[in-house]
A = this chain, B = another copy of it.
Amino acid sequence: MTTTTRTRLTGVIPPVCTPLTPDLEIDVPSLERLVDFLIDAGVDGLFTLGSTSEVAYLPDGHRRRVLETVVARTAGRVPVLAGAIDMTTLRVAEHIDDAVKAGCDGVVATAPFYARTHPVEIERHFRFLAERSAVPVYAYDLPVSVHSALDSAMLLRLAAEGVLAGVKDSSGDEGGLRRLLLARDAAGAAVADFSVLTGSELTVDSALAMGADGVVPGLGNVDPHGYTGLFRLCREQDWAAARAEQERLVRLFDIVDVGGTARMGRGSSALGSFKAALHLRGVIDHPVTAPPQIQLDAAETARVADLLKGAGLL
């Protein structure tokens, strides 16, 4: 467990897409360009190996390659967080070791999955991970993937004890997010450095208006300038301009639906659209996603291009 004094992590911290080559290796030059693209747009940190990074699809060698590439290319310009995504504690701990070895500044872990897990076991899981980790541990609340939600009282208890440095809330439950924020503020100094980041890229202005510290927007790969600008407008409390910018991004988010639900899953469509957009914008060389995902076809890609044009990005 780290003993370093922390300041709360804030701002725009996109989950970095993982460019692949057609033969399914990490496309290192594309990943380096993406890192630069994001940092040049003013992001405040990088979250590598998150769900949007296709972490669930990447073997460990690929994951290590991603960590090394991103840390090296970032070169300390912004903090780098790493998803340590696996089924249970000992497996997650090994990913944490890899992230620490690669030089990441923090790690992000979900509740256990595949195994059915009791709340007391979830709490034990995070305690064990923090014990093992040389960098701060952030909890990742992602019920859509892990089929259990993180309890707010548990989060704040672990925050107060220094076990958790923050949470990435992808629960989609904005009321719950707000209750967590108020409970944190009520809990005082002991949890004052606990970061609350939202993964909901369509309601960033709302989340920041409520007091969230930052945002981890998948769509931030495609339009990082949009999200850094939006964050600034919110900090300036220019809510009308923030709303307009957020609405432009909501319209752009329609790209995630280009694949429909008949011939592929929502994941294939969403991750495929992000990569298609990055390819169309010239940031990455190949819009390839990992198997068993279905690739977007020409018509679907053309629809992504139309939406990029509509958002002023092509």
Q: Which residues of A contact B (CB under 8 A)?
A: 24, 56-60, 62, 85, 87-91, 93-94, 112-118, 120-122, 124-125, 128, 144-147, 172-175, 178-179, 182, 200-203, 205-206, 209-210, 237, 239-240, 243, 247, 250-251, 253, 261, 263-268, 290-294
Complex interface: chain B residues within 8 A of A266 (CB): 116
Complex interface: chain B residues within 8 A of A117 (CB): 265, 267, 292
Q: How far is the CB of A113 from chain B (nearest CB, A)?
A: 6
Closest 6 CB pairs of A and B: A118-B265, A175-B202, A206-B206, A125-B292, A124-B292, A56-B87
In the complex with contacts A90-B59, A182-B247, A113-B116 CB distance below 8 A: no
Complex interface: chain B residues within 8 A of A261 (CB): 118
Q: How far, in whole Å, are A60 and B294 apart by their CA atoms in the complex?
A: 28
In the complex with contacts A116-B144, A209-B243, A57-B91 CB distance below 8 A: yes
Q: How far, in whole Å, are A174 and B59 apart by their CA atoms in the complex?
A: 34
Complex interface: chain B residues within 8 A of A125 (CB): 291-292
Main secondary structure on A side of the interface with B: helix
Nearest chain-B residue to A239 (Cβ)?
B239
Complex interface: chain B residues within 8 A of A265 (CB): 116-118, 121
Contact (Cβ within 8 A) B291 A124: yes
Q: How far, in whole Å, are A118 and B270 apart by their CA atoms in the complex?
A: 13
Contact (Cβ within 8 A) A57 B206: no
Q: List 8 A-B contacts (CB under 8 A).
A: A58-B90, A58-B91, A85-B114, A117-B292, A178-B203, A179-B202, A179-B253, A182-B247
Q: Which of A58, A62, A118 has the most CB of B within 10 A?
A: A118
Q: How far, in whole Å, are A114 and B112 apart by their CA atoms in the complex?
A: 10
